[in-house]
Structure 1
Amino acid sequence: MTVLIPVLGDQLSPSLPTLTEADRENSVILMMEVMEEASYVPHHPKKIAFIFSAMRHYAEELRDQGWMVDYVPLDDEGNSGNFTGEVKRAVSRHQATAVHITEASEYRVMEMIDGWKQAFDVPVTIHPDNRFICDHSTFDKWAKGRKTFRMENFYRDRRKSTGLLMDGDEPEGGSWNYDSDNRKPAKEDASMPQPLRFEPDEITREVLTLVGERFSDNFGSLDDYWFGATRADAEQAFDAFIERALACFGDYQDAMLADQKFLFHALISVYLNVGLLDPLAICRRVEDEYYKGRAPLNAAEGFIRQIIGWREYVRGIYWREMPGYEEQNALAADRDLPGFYWSGETDMACMKACITQTRDEAYAHHIQRLMVTGNFALIAGIDPKQLHIWYLSVYADAFEWVELPNTLGMSQFGDGGLLASKPYASSGSYIDKMSDYCKNCSYSVSKKEGKDACPFNYLYWDFVGRHAERFRSNPRMAMMVSSYGKFSDDKKAQIDADARRFLDNLD
């Protein structure tokens, strides 16, 4: 008998259940580059190139280990263009008697796989994905009976279950969370570390040529491509972060500088989200750096919280709320996504910097996403589903399970507070405090009204006014609603006029 084992582009792990449980002598691994997955949103070319290159390198790694690998490239003459068609062709090609696959990370793909049991004439076994720290049943057990799902509560539960940074039953240092220590603005520093860059090898160069030919109209540049492609590359990149940047990661986690795209961030999410790094293993490594005195507690805790807290938490929310989560729009935001999200052509310096960086690198860190491009969309009333599609398209680390809850739930408050306790809205003062964007902007962050005023200033208060009734009872927004209510009628009219003038001319 021959067992066909499809391996998807974000399943590039040696611990994949279908591999660890397989009989190598009687198995064929199927890997597929298909146009449906490469084009269901207009992915950044660097994102497509990274995934295809990592897949091709992983296939070579498996062959070196003695596996039989059937790899279907995008330009294969018979490529059907979708997973179902390619699995069906491979079942016939290898006369497979069974299909074994690890569950997909995205609901859309999982629905497709669920249909294979009826579509094929051979049995299909779907294995649970054990590469996450919290499985679906554990998350559902934690969430049962809760009206809201707060990450901090989930995170503490995960700390206890893993033992990470725990001193018996208490958190190391006496506090669970050191986020208040992680909000320092950064100053330009010539010695600021840069991410480890990898020169494209022959396989990657072939992929870059393919992607350049097939996806040249997509938003984003392929120039200066530097992502690694193998597990060894990913581990080297993580080693470089540990050695060069971890010690300052916590302090400047929220900082933004126009001429420093990466600051002290790890830049490993691209590797982590396709399976080239193990989440628990990298957290253990960071914990060890703290205990050896090479990283402060706020840096170690901040990093670990992003992995075992936030990353696992949004995955749990995603699977619990799908299908239909992407359609939620609690604030009834219906303005179309402005064209400058795809061009970067705007006079707002912060937006221009973040969008241009995204175009060039397929990367922006979480504060650039949350408090600049996300904040603007929130206060401007942009349709959250359109913003979701943009984020899913333009970032190399964006898979729907992690991107959708971050965008619709946290950034846009589209689920009405299921995930976030408050909308992440702010005026220009936050951006001015945490970045150097404002100093070279066409608008004045110190001005609150008029054509020269920072749009974030009056759009913020316009947002508060529009949703005053909803947020009046929100403990984290009530003070802002109260402040707005004390504004004079003339001031409210000015805010409204400025907002209408600006929003009516977005493009």
Structure 2
Amino acid sequence: MSPDRSAPAWTRPQRVVWVLGDQLWMGHPALVDFNPATDHVLMVEAPGEARAVWNHRARIAVFLSAMRHFCNDVHRLGWAYTYVRLTDMADEPSLAGRAQRVLQSLQPRVLRLCEPGDWRTLTSAQALADDLGVDLELFADPHFMCSRTEFARWAQGKKTLRMEFFYRDMRRRHGVLMEGRDPAGGQWNYDSDNRQGFPASGPGPIAAPELFAPDRITEQVLTLVAELFPDHPGDLAHFVWPVTRAQALEALERFISVRLAPFGPYQDAMWTGTPWGWHSLLSVALNLHLLDPREVIAAAEAAWREQHLPLASVEGFIRQVLGWREFIRGLYWLDMPQMAEANHFDHHRALPAWYWTGQTRMACQREVVQQTLTHGYAHHIQRLMVTGQFALLAEIEPRQVSDWYLAMYVDAVEWVELPNTVGMALHATGPRFTSKPYIASGQYLKRMSNYCQGCAYDPAQRTGPRACPVTTLYWHFLLRHADELARNPRTALMVKSTARLSPEERLRINQTAADVLDHLDDL
């Protein structure tokens, strides 16, 4: 443990503020009235958190580096604190167990905590406070623009929950991209303008995002992670993520000034060798609370009003932050813990081994998984329509898939990862908050990327020796779930397309799909 050596002589603190690794901002509600004379800050690194799922090493490093930088800020303020490092308490790997030991030593009267980003930590903290006989003060997280209570009130009485209507309410409530009572430009969204693929010649020059060379603290963390987690997946040589408030602001300014305008039309586009595309890369800073969503939204809206950036691009970006991000977080807390076990299609196959290595002949999956291993990053269409869609079509057990996403992405916190995976990518929650399964054949991937060039498989073929596994499994999914999909207006046309298939072709599709499903590790 690392107490602040410059703090006054130790006295029993009245209150301990436990700052979690994804709550690294001075607007933390339990720090707002911090009393240096009587209060104490607690921060805990725990190897058990890195092994709860088989974490990408860059994800471990993001959290550790950001936490250590934040602790330095606490130190400079002269506040008393205890910082538990990974190498402390070798016999106690768990987060709750380490926190319990510190609290037993400090003997505070009150434990203060901001709402954690996952159900497990919340329930562990509540149990910990009960066990120690300490009063728990749990604060709503003001980082979010819609509280859990407000979201539950919005959702009350609705049979299905749809982001579009929530997003419109949020726009009205916060006065974002509004002209009086009407949406700016006369429409609520510009999705039709924001779904272009790159030209056949490629994306051309893409202005680089703001990337950050590791400083001394981050270098120490990278060395530590390499030593302690040598068998974990992922590369550390390309670590470029913001881990301080100042870096996060630089990343925001760079995106708004040079990358936001082209982001809109090409936000769904994919191309080999372009891991960032025109995306903001701000999710890490937002999910660590280094950036406030209000300032991100305000900067984007100002770029439209003052610099005349395209409204379609600005709205598309704001929709992700004000709409989907807030919606997903509300759903997580509304539907936990049962959401974690959702399995609408009753899928139980094991996750293929190549999800951890990228060693597959499917060029689309290889490109995205290897990019993920290198950077700990893939953008939303790569996650949804490449690795996510394949997991759905391949009938992978949802919990295994959600654990993989939580492990592999540097911006992953369970409140955002779990609903996006089980609800959006896998449709495991059924129609609860998505109106259809997001499925497509390999032809979609060919249209939105260059991944199919030189692939061992042909996206146009659903049977035969060169049949694309994505295409085969897409048609198999349509046939298997025809009754359910035919009742859904958004998928009924897909099912109608199977009517032209002869009995012989249906048999060949099902036989080919069965072979694919039996040999997922060998694709």
Contact 1:132-1:312 within 8 A present in 2 as well: yes
Counterpart residue number, 2:42: 30
Deviations 1:163-220 (A, max 9, x none): 0000111100000010110011124345212222212111111111111011111111
Residue aligned with 1:18, SS = coil
Q: 1:351 aligned to 356, 365, 375, which one?
A: 365
Q: Which residue of 2 aligns with 1:366?
A: 380
Number of the residue aligned with 1:105: 117
CA contact (8 A) 1:10 1:273 kept: yes
Match of 1:301 among 311, 315, 320: 315
In structure 2, what is the equivalent of residue 47 of structure 1?
59
Q: Is the 8 A contact 1:451 1:498 kept in 2?
A: no
**C-alpha offsets along residues 44-71 of structure 1, whole Å, 9 cap, x if unaligned?**
1000001000000000012212322211
Q: Does 1:124 align with 2:136?
A: yes
| Alpha-carbon distance change, 175 to 346 in structure 1, aligned in 2, over 3 angstroms | same
Q: Which position in structure 2 is the counterpart of 1:135?
A: 147
Q: Does 1:238 align with 2:252?
A: yes
Structure 1, unaligned runs of 5 or more = none
State the alpha-carbon separation in 2 of the partners of residues 82 and 439 from structure 1.
46
Return the TM-score normalized by structure 2. 0.95
Partner of 1:67: 79
Report the alpha carbon displacement of residue 131 of structure 1 after superposing the two structures with TM: 1.0
Equivalent of 1:325 in 316, 319, 339 = 339
Conservation of the 8 A alpha-carbon contact between 1:72 and 1:79: no
**C-alpha displacement of 1:263:** 1.0
User: CA distance change for structure 1 residues 474 and 70 in 2, over 3 Å: closer, same or farther?
Assistant: same
Q: After superposition, where does 1:25-424 map in structure 2 within 5 Å? A: 25-77=37-89, 80-187=92-199, 188-424=202-438
One-letter amino acid of the counterpart of residue 71, structure 1: Y
Identity %: 42
Superposed displacement of residue 121, structure 1: 3.1
Letter in 2 for 1:465: L
Q: CA shift at 1:226, angstroms? A: 1.4
C-alpha distance in 1, partners of 2:463/2:97? 57
Aligned residue for 2:502? 488
Pair 79,435 (structure 1): closer, same or farther in 2 beyond 3 Å: same
Query: What's 1:477 paired with?
Result: 491
Query: Which stretch has the larger CA shift, 413-422 or 72-81?
Result: 72-81
Can you list the C-alpha shifts for 1:200-247, whole angstroms capped at 9, x where unaligned? 111111111111011111111111211122100111111111122101
Q: Distance in 2 between matches of 1:122 and 1:407?
A: 36
How many angstroms does 1:370 deviate by?
0.3
Q: For residues 227 and 342 of structure 1, do their structure 2 counterparts lie closer, same or farther at Cα, with a shift above 3 Å needed?
A: same
**Paired residue secondary structure (1:437):** coil
Secondary structure of 2:307's partner? coil
CA distance in 2 between partners of 1:73 and 1:4 (Å): 18
1:127–1:79 distance in 2 versus 1, CA, 3 Å: farther
- Residue aligned with 2:430, SS: coil
Question: What is the deviation of 1:457?
Answer: 1.5
Q: Deviations over 1:430-483 (max 9, x none)?
A: 111110111121112233321112222221110011111111211111112222
CA contact (8 A) 1:57 1:229 kept: yes
The alignment partner of 1:283 has SS state of helix
Q: For residues 77 and 465 of structure 1, what CA distance do their matches in structure 2 show?
A: 55
Displacement of 1:116: 2.5
SS at match of 2:97: helix
Contact residue 391 and residue 426 of structure 2 kept, 8 A: yes
Contact 1:410–1:424 (CA under 8 A) maintained in structure 2: yes
Matched-pair contact (CA < 8 Å) for 1:270–1:396: yes
Give the superposed CA RMSD.
1.4
Question: Are the aligned partners of 2:458 and 2:468 in contact in 1 as well (CA < 8 Å)?
Answer: yes
CA contact (8 A) 1:250 1:300 kept: yes
Name the counterpart of 1:438: 452
SS of residue paired to 2:59: helix
TM-score (norm 1): 0.97
Aligned to 2:10: none
Whole-angstrom CA distance in 1 between matches of 2:175 and 2:248: 25
Cα deviation for residue 418 of structure 1 reads: 0.5
